[in-house]
């Protein structure tokens, strides 16, 4: 069979790499892909933008694609799944209405309120004066969020009232995020440990993937600005089987059931970004309606089951009898970013020494391109170097040994991915 993956990041390289291993799959296309997918033997890059829905439909028809898998949120929020289904093409992902769980934070907060899914206290504003009043009343720290999609940059955790007011004004008055920031959510500041909990859903049944933990800040010790994610590991040991069940009962099942009650079927990856406090109380920070990046890389690196078979079954509403098998140990991904990421990343630098990955490691590409048999940087997050081992420490040692060999001008990465967890020493608890 033939599969088509939409997107060009590290998440999509990992999806294509995993799908390509299925014995059912003869060929994987990726639109548009990156330098890493261009180097893969059974994967072919197709030069169509991931937001060009009409061209993607034409391509899928021409090639008689058996399953299309959507990586990023923007085409999902623009209704790519609806259009594929209208054209009788098999696709895995949520329709536009369901994708609002991610594309509108106001929609998602109202939804959580309606269905009693635990989340931070909040209010929505379109008027700066009213927002200022609320901020002054609530005090800092406080969290300001643009309603719409803002590529991970629409959330400001303000430690002072001034910072909160500046962030609110940049969205409501100065239109920093355009329409996405014409409405802001002002939210209670939560403390605890963050977890990414992702499931596959076929509209009815739910197949949970293993847990993971992202590292959102640019610099070591969780300093510096928020990014799309600088590294992740799986599993997240805080998610014991007891907490797993609690997350399913309090967040995931009520979400899928709540969508059904609202007349919206959710098919696709559902990603709950969770904050777990010291008493193991759960609050939902956000929903995404896709896999995480970089969480996908360590999660899929541990998945033993055939992902293509599972996603095809999900697209056919038949995952109730599927279970996922996992490697026992841990996997870790460290993102190598370009100079000046996350602002204006420098691009077009040649990358050297990419060929050292062994059996238990892999270099997933993100912002790279292939020209004349050389790989160049082409985006902010460049590589997701991934390794697995018996323990997180083991995986971490391998990943940094591999990174030490890779070179390009201005490369930056965190040297502490997984370190906080290793210090806690609770892997087997
Ligand atoms: P979001 O896109 O809503 O997940 O927010 C991005 C990041 O901002 C999260 O991963 C958290 O690190 C942080 N964040 C979001 N909401 C809150 C909150 N209510 N309290 C504390 N930190 C938050
Ligand atoms: N790594 C966070 C995200 O994919 O949204």
For the chain, give the secondary structure using H, E and C: CEEEEEECCHHHHHHHHHHHCCCCCCEEEEEECCHHHHHCCCEEECCCCCCCHHHHHHHHHHCCCCEEEECCHHHHHCCHHHHHHHCCCCEECCCHHHHHHHHCHHHHHHHHHHCCCCECCEEEECCHHHHHHHHHHHCCCEEEEECCCCCCCCEEEECCHHHHHHHHHHHHCCCCCHHHHCCEEEEECCCCEEEEEEEEEECCCEEECCCEEECCEEEHHHEEEECCCCEEEECCCCCCHHHHHHHHHHHHHHHHHHHHHCCCCCEEEEEEEEEECCCCCEEEEEEECCCCCCCHHHHHHHECCCHHHHHHHHHCCCCCCCCCCECCCEEEEEEEECCCCCCCCCCCCECECCCCCCCCEEEEECCEEEECCEEEECCCEEEEEEEEECCHHHHHHHHHHHHCCCECCCCECCCCCCHHHHHHCCCCC
Ligand 2 centroid, distance to 154 Cα (angstroms): 13
Q: Which of 71, 234, 292 to mutate to test the pocket of ligand 2 (most atoms within 8 A of CB)?
A: 292
> Taking the chain (429 residues) in consecutive chunks of 10 residues, what is each chunk's mean pLDDT?
98 98 98 97 96 98 98 97 98 97 94 97 94 95 91 86 94 84 92 96 97 96 91 97 98 97 96 96 97 98 98 96 95 98 94 85 97 96 97 97 96 97 76
Q: CB under 6 Å to ligand 1: residues?
A: 120, 143, 145, 155, 157, 187-190, 194, 216, 226, 273, 285-286
Task: Give CA–CA dist 265/271, Å, rounded.
Answer: 16
Atom of ligand 2 nearest to the CA of 292: 4
Residue 428, pLDDT score: 54
Q: What would the two tokens of residue 224 be? A: 């510096």
Residue 96, pLDDT score: 97
Looking at all shown ligands, the one closest to residue 196's CA atom is: 2
pTM listed for this prediction: 0.96
Residue 429, pLDDT score: 44
Residue whose token pair is 């790279």 = 368
Ligand 1 centroid, distance to 385 Cα (angstroms): 25
């Amino acid at each position: 069979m033939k599969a088509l993956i939409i997107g060009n990041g590290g998440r999509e390289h990992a999806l294509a790499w995993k799908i390509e291993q299925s014995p059912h799959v003869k060929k994987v296309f990726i639109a548009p892909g990156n330098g890493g997918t261009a180097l893969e033997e059974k994967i072919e890059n197709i030069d169509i933008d991931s937001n060009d829905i009409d061209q993607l439909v034409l391509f899928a028809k021409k090639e008689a694609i058996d399953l299309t898998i959507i990586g990023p949120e923007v085409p999902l929020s623009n209704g790519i799944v609806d259009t594929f289904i209208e054209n009788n093409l098999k696709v895995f992902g949520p329709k536009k209405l369901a994708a609002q769980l991610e594309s509108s934070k106001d929609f998602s907060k109202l939804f959580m309120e309606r269905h009693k899914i635990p989340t931070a206290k909040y209010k929505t504003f379109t008027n700066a004066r009213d927002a200022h009043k609320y901020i002054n009343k609530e005090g800092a720290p406080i969290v300001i969020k643009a309603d719409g999609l803002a590529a991970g940059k629409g959330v400001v955790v303000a430690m002072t009232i001034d910072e909160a007011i500046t962030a609110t004004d940049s969205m409501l008055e100065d239109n920093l995020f355009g329409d996405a920031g014409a409405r802001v959510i002002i939210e209670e500041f939560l403390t605890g440990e963050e977890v990414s909990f992702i499931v596959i859903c076929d509209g009815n049944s739910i197949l949970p993937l293993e847990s993971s933990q992202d590292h959102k800040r640019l610099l070591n010790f969780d300093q510096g600005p928020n990014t799309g994610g600088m590294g992740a590991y799986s599993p997240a040991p805080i998610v014991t089987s007891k907490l797993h069940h609690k997350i399913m009962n309090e967040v995931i099942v009520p979400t899928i059931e709540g969508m059904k009650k609202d007349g919206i079927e959710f098919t696709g990856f559902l990603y709950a970004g969770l904050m777990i406090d010291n008493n193991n109380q759960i609050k939902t920070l956000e929903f995404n309606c896709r896999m995480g990046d970089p969480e996908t890389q360590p999660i899929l690196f541990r998945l033993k089951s055939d992902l293509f078979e599972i996603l095809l079954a999900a697209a056919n509403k038949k995952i109730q009898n599927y279970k996922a098998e996992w490697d026992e140990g841990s996997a870790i991904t460290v993102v190598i970013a370009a100079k000046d990421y996350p602002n204006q990343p420098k691009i077009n630098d040649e990358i050297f020494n990419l060929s050292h990955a062994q059996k238990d490691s892999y270099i997933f590409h993100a912002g790279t391109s292939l020209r004349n048999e050389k790989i160049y940087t082409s985006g902010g997050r460049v590589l997701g170097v991934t390794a697995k081992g018996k323990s997180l420490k083991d995986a971490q040692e391998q990943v940094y040994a591999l990174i030490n060999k890779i070179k390009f001008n201005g490369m930056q990465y965190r040297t502490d991915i997984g370190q906080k967890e290793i210090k806690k020493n609770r892997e087997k608890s």
